[in-house]
Chains A and B, each alone.
Chain A
Amino acid sequence: MSAGVARHCDTALGWGPSRVGMVGRAAMCVAALLVFCGPLITVFSGAFDHSPDPTKLSLLPNNPSTINFEVAGERGIWGYLVNSLVIAGGGLLLQVSVSVFAAYALARKKFRAQALVMLAVLTTMMLPEEVIAIPLSLTIGQLGLKGTLLGVILPLGAWGFSIFVMTEFMKEIPAELEEAAKVDGAGELRIFAQIVVPLCRPALGVVAVFGFTMIWDQYLLPLIVATEPADYTLTVALASLRSDDQVGPGVVLAGALLALVPSLLVYLSLQKSFLRGITSGAVKG
């Protein structure tokens, strides 16, 4: 046995090729898949199931139909989806540009009060919407942004986390590149747009995928900005679909599916960026 163990040192548990071990491991993988993906699969099947009955949720639709989406459409689900998409698109564009600009100053420039600005940026991470919900709602009202999509987009336009990630990444770009460009007579904006930003592509992926997930996850902010149900995003509208006596859980699941698909698509297409962001964030804190 000891010789066998010595050979399997590539994993912490020393998984080996023995048949019993393989079968056991495969069974546990299937169990993990069922536990973590099963609930998401029930959303797919429930959304397409004609008989919306929470006691009969299953992994496959019993009676396939698109009736739930039609009913959800009558309840304005497509409007909520458009709200969500506009907020995600506009918010992400703003958030990423703002982060890149701010990071350029913080990483490539030296100026007075630099440490103070970084501290101010990091402090905002301790002021999420939850903590400032009440006064934020008043501020948004005073700015005349209540009931507008801009009222959700603007507060999400700057995010301490993505400024921090971009700054850390930009610091690694060698100064020689900039200097060479300067010798060639390139101006500030040109250096920024044609040298620094293109070199930041890996960090842009991380910031984009985290930013999207963060914006799509918003619940409290769109809730306090909204003045009428037509202002809701998908995430907020799910609760009002649920409390609607006229529709069953199948319609809620249809809404949940629409809210789920974009995040799954973004994750699956930018998976590498996502995982890199998590692991580097863990190392740096």
Chain B
Amino acid sequence: MTTLATKDVDPTASGGGAVGLHPVRRRHRRRLTGPLAPWLFLAPALLIFLLFKYIPMAEGIRLSLFNVRPFLGDLWVGLDNYVTVLTDERFQSALGRTLVLAFGQTAGAMVLGFALALLLEGSARSLWFVRSAVFLPVVAATAVVGEIWRLLYFPADEGFLNSVLSWFGIGAQPFLDSPDTALWSVMGVGVWKGAPYDMVIILAGLAGIDRQLYESSAIDGATTLQRLRHVTLPALRPVITILLTLAAIRGLRVFTEVYVLTGGGPAGSTDVWMTRVFSLGFERNELGVASAGSVVLFLVTLLLTLLVQYYRRRKEAM
């Protein structure tokens, strides 16, 4: 083992950049440390990422350029698979539904989460209890939530949700059973599971608002609504914007909820991008086209994430 010291022990050196070549390091010699030490600590993580993230990603890109034929050998088809994905009618309508679902779920969860946060803000112990209980849907596994809601959505008149609706004089709904209502029902589950999460973040934002602003607006005679609009919302805007964009981007990858709740049905009315890819890849064995669909999804989420980061940086720099 070499005894070259690395720079982190040297408080006089400037941070970052090309390290190891600085003459300063010779003053601080250390045992059991070498330029290899950080790599030893990183090795397990990097190995796992390489095996289960990067190699599959590279393999996915490779597959997307071939007509994959098990036992017959793969045929190079160039960008044909991408053309197939982008011109396929079912993929196009799946894209539309994915966007509707992602934005609907994100916006719905945010509005409901905001309402919950306003309702449950405060330091009383009873409010803390309600907050903890309301948060439970977030920790439940998605597949479990899906199974629960399949039963709650039972389409007969006596189904759980339908009996609740009948108390309010609303007729029985088919929910997941009808192509007209299935997508909205899936969205409802997403909102239910997502709202308490947003509530926690908005509560943290609310706690950070200067109370003097509330007091001075009250002295100025502002109503609660005015105060909400002109003091609370502007203070929360940065948090909400970031949350909304990131959640919407994540929403594009929606799979488990849809797969468990409807499997893409009825009549393809809830078929989203990922369920399309899944059924092509695992049920019809069209690995090339399915891989092209995955790569497109990855590129879109990557591009959107980079855009968000770019705007954030620019905002912070201003």
Contacts and interface: CB of A to CB of B under 8 A. Distances in A.
A and B bind: yes
Interface string A221-264: 00010000000000110110010000001001101100110011
B287 A134 contact: yes
A36 B154 contact: no
A32 B294 contact: no
Contacts of A283: 204, 239
Nearest to B33: A188
A119 B35 CA distance: 20
Nearest to B47: A158
A157 interface: yes
Nearest to B37: A188
Contacts of A213: 139
> Helix, strand, loop or mixed for chain B's interface?
helix
B298 interface: yes
A57 interface: yes
Interface string A255-283: 11001100110111001001100110011
Interface residues of A, number: 106
Interface stretch (B71-79, B84-92, B211-219): B211-219
A12 B232 contact: yes
B139 A264 contact: yes
Interface of B: 6-9, 11, 15-16, 18-20, 30-33, 35, 37-39, 41-42, 44-46, 48-49, 51-57, 59-60, 63, 116, 118-123, 126-127, 130, 132-137, 139-144, 147-152, 154, 156, 158-160, 192, 195-197, 200-201, 204, 206, 209, 211, 214-215, 218-219, 221, 224, 227-228, 232, 239, 242-243, 246, 253, 255-256, 259-260, 274, 277-278, 281-282, 287, 290-291, 294, 297-298, 301-302, 305, 312
The 9 A-B residue pairs with the shortest CB-CB distance, nearest first, are A55-B158, A105-B41, A235-B143, A135-B59, A105-B38, A9-B214, A102-B45, A158-B48, A155-B52
Interface of A: 2, 5-6, 9-15, 25, 28-29, 32-33, 35-37, 39-40, 42-43, 46, 54-58, 97-99, 101-102, 104-106, 108-112, 114, 117, 120-121, 124, 126-128, 130-140, 143, 154-155, 157-158, 163, 175, 178-179, 182, 185, 187-189, 192, 213, 216-217, 219-220, 224, 235-236, 238-239, 242, 249, 252-253, 255-256, 259-260, 263-264, 266-268, 271, 274-275, 278-279, 282-283, 285
23 contacts: A10-B122, A11-B122, A15-B122, A29-B130, A36-B136, A97-B44, A101-B42, A102-B45, A105-B42, A120-B46, A127-B54, A135-B55, A154-B48, A178-B9, A188-B37, A213-B139, A235-B143, A259-B144, A260-B140, A266-B139, A271-B132, A278-B201, A285-B242
